[in-house]
């Protein structure tokens, strides 16, 4: 099989560093669309005086910040909305964003202009691919079977990365929870995509996933302009990359958001509608569907670095005469780079030995209860609370749980 089940954990949010002070003021609220009143999912909330420099809104638009400052200044960014700069106070602070002018013309079938912009975006990325950064990140993944959560784990990592992806990844601390429901399906080998995914590439390997930002795979896609966003800073072009052979295994379709003036990649939404999974020792898996959204930030020298990633994989699972609907969701936040490093030769570790190393350390539940990123990231908070009450959390690979 070309693509293993480990790839279910597709791989991101870049913030400032921890203030190093006790964060005593909790600021929470909801960010909504001014016109519709609906919550805005995955908006970036930058806050230089807050823990980790900010957060990202949940799928419903909720956010949580902690800060030693009573009324910190924040900036809220979302590619589809106008940037908001304001201050927020302790307690409830609801905010509203106005939508940018968003044109959705009929899809331009002639992909010449679209391909030229994709080529320019690739050239910009490739020209800075040898610039590496160091930083910290946070990863969380949940597994749900027939609407009941069977697994939740999360950990913090030290990173070395470039605009192409993660070059090196070391788990610092983490926790793992398993719900003892019958016939549970677990994914102990996690985060392959986070560690192994490439935003752009210059070679084509049919045994691996195929991405549109790659000169060697241009022939496998139809590139079409799908819309334009008129932002204050300039025009953002929406480009759809359609696989020319819909049945091709591992060819990922995408919508790319590219800032026209500088050919900077701002966001990439990926879709793989048919992924065959073959692991007979674990049961029978139906075809999987995978979606992911990667957001980028502009760093020093205009480098477009992975900022955050949210993913979802769904598939049917057959075991012992029963069929289960399985959903695996993951979130990765990439905090702001600390320092610039030289070229990194190491590839991201994929043997997960660091998870086992973490499992030998004593689990400290109160540390997680105090850490703000637990409450400030988009995941079902009720699930974490329920798992805590049921005492499901323990160390990685703890057979007693």
Q: What is the pLDDT of residues 143-155, one digit of tens each?
A: 899 989 988 888 8
**Residue 371 DSSP code:** -
**Sign, Cα dihedral of 34, 37, 39, 45:** positive
Which of 99, 126, 154 lies at the terminal end of a domain, its last residue?
99
Q: Three-state SS for 126?
A: helix
Which of 99, 133, 158 lies at the terminal end of a domain, its last residue?
99
Same-domain status, 375 and 308: yes
Give the model's pLDDT for residue 147.
86
pLDDT tens by residue, 303-315: 778 888 888 889 9
82: nearest Cα among 237, 233, 227: 233
Same-domain status, 86 and 115: no
Same-domain status, 316 and 217: yes
Q: Which two tokens stand for residue 198?
A: 């490439």
Please answer whether residues 318 and 286 qualify as being in contact, where contact means their C-beta atoms are separated by less than 8 angstroms: yes
Q: Which two tokens stand for residue 249?
A: 């295994």
Same-domain status, 90 and 129: no
Which of 99, 123, 140 lies at the terminal end of a domain, its last residue?
99
How far is the C-alpha of 267 from the C-alpha of 265, rounded, in Å?
6
Same-domain status, 78 and 223: no
Q: Which two tokens stand for residue 56?
A: 């990202």
Q: Which two tokens stand for residue 2?
A: 């070309």
Q: Which residues of 159-174 are buried (b: 16+ CB within 10 A; e: fewer)?
A: bbbbbbbbbbbebeeb
Residue 264 has pLDDT above 50, yes or no: yes
Taking residues 28-32, report their average pLDDT: 92
| pLDDT tier, 346 (very low <50, low <70, confident <90, very high otherwise) | very low
The answer to whether position 158 is within a domain reads yes
Q: How many domains does the chain have?
A: 2
| pLDDT tier, 321 (very low <50, low <70, confident <90, very high otherwise) | confident
The answer to whether position 53 is within a domain reads yes
Give the model's pLDDT for residue 126.
92
Please answer whether residues 68 and 34 qualify as being in contact, where contact means their C-beta atoms are separated by less than 8 angstroms: no
Same-domain status, 292 and 379: yes
The answer to whether position 37 is within a domain reads yes
Taking the model in full, what pTM does it have? 0.84
Same-domain status, 158 and 30: no
How far is the C-alpha of 47 from the C-alpha of 16, rounded, in Å?
8
The parent domain of residue 70 ranges over: 25-99
Of 67-81, 127-141, 211-225, 373-387, the poorest mean pLDDT is in 373-387
Q: Which two tokens stand for residue 154?
A: 């999360």
The answer to whether position 261 is within a domain reads yes
Of 248-252, 287-291, 378-382, the poorest mean pLDDT is in 378-382
Q: Which two tokens stand for residue 353?
A: 């030995």
Same-domain status, 126 and 245: yes
What does 296-312 look like in DSSP terms, one character per residue? Answer: EEE-GGG-EEEEEEEEE
Reported as type and span, the H/E element at residue 119 is helix 112-126
Same-domain status, 90 and 46: yes
């Amino acid at each position: 099989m070309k693509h293993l089940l480990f790839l279910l954990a597709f791989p991101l949010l870049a913030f400032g560093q921890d203030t190093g002070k006790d964060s005593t003021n909790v600021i929470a609220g909801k960010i909504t669309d001014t016109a519709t009143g609906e919550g805005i999912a995955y908006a970036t909330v930058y806050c230089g005086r807050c823990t980790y420099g900010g957060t990202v809104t949940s799928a419903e638009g909720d956010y949580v910040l902690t800060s030693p400052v009573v009324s910190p200044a924040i900036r809220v960014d979302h590619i589809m909305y106008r940037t908001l700069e304001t201050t927020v106070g302790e307690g409830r602070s609801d905010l509203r964003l106005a939508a940018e002018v968003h044109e959705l013309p009929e899809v331009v079938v002639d992909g010449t202009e679209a391909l030229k912009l994709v080529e320019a975006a690739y050239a910009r990325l490739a020209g800075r691919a040898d610039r590496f950064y160091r930083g910290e990140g946070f990863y969380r993944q949940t597994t749900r079977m027939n609407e009941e959560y069977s697994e939740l784990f999360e950990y913090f990592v030290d990173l070395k990365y470039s605009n192409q992806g993660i070059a090196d990844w070391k788990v610092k601390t983490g926790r793992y929870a398993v719900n003892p429901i019958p016939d549970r399906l677990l994914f102990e080998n996690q985060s392959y995509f986070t560690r192994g995914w490439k935003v752009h590439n210059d070679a084509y390997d049919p045994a691996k996933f195929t991405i549109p930002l790659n000169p060697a795979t241009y022939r496998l896609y139809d590139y079409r302009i799908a819309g334009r966003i008129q932002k204050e800073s300039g025009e953002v072009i929406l480009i759809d990359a359609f696989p020319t052979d819909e049945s091709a295994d591992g060819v990922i379709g995408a919508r790319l958001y590219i800032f026209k003036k500088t050919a900077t990649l701002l966001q990439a939404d990926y879709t793989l509608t048919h992924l065959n999974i073959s692991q007979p020792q674990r049961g029978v898996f139906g075809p999987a569907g995978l979606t992911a959204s990667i957001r980028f930030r502009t760093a020093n020298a205009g480098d477009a670095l992975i900022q955050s990633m949210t993913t979802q994989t769904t598939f049917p699972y057959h075991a012992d005469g029963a069929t289960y609907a399985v959903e695996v969701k993951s979130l990765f936040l990439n905090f702001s780079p600390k320092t610039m490093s030289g070229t990194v030769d190491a590839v991201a570790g994929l043997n997960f030995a660091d998870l086992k190393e973490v499992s030998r350390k004593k689990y400290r539940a109160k540390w997680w209860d105090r850490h703000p990123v637990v409450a400030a990231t988009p995941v079902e908070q009720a699930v974490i609370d329920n798992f805590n009450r049921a005492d499901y959390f323990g160390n990685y690979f703890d057979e007693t749980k």
